[in-house]
Amino acid sequence: VQLQASGGGLVEAGGSLRLSCAASGRTASSNAMGWFRQAPGKEREFVTAIGWSGTKLYADSVKGRFTISSDNAKNTVYLQMNSLKPEDTAVYYCAAGAWARWDPGQYDFWGQGTQVTVSS
């Protein structure tokens, strides 16, 4: 499975961005997609995930601001980020696995990451 993340950029605090993650290859075994982020000097942290049944998980820090969705026909997952804060600045990675989980170790495939920078 290959994952291609896109949509990052520079935005002012309070603004919005939408990230996309397109999956290709043998996607049949990857029933869940997740987004993680990593800021400089920090560990990679869970942001959100969506399972095959539509189950969605969100980190507390993004609840009410970020929304994950999927277009199965396009094998693409989206992350709509609203009300962005400077602390959301990080490289955002999409990942694919069998189940929607908080633990990055549960994901088998990773995209290359896309930078999101929120200015104050």
For the stretch 99-112, pLDDT in tens is 899 999 999 999 99
Under a CB-based contact definition with an 8 Å cutoff, are residues 89 and 73 in contact? no
CA distance 63 to 72: 23
C-alpha–C-alpha distance, residues 10 and 87, integer Å? 13
pLDDT tens digits, one per residue of 54-76: 899 999 999 999 999 999 889 99
Amino acid (1-letter code) at residue 89? T
Cα–Cα distance for residue pair 59/73, rounded to 1 Å: 27
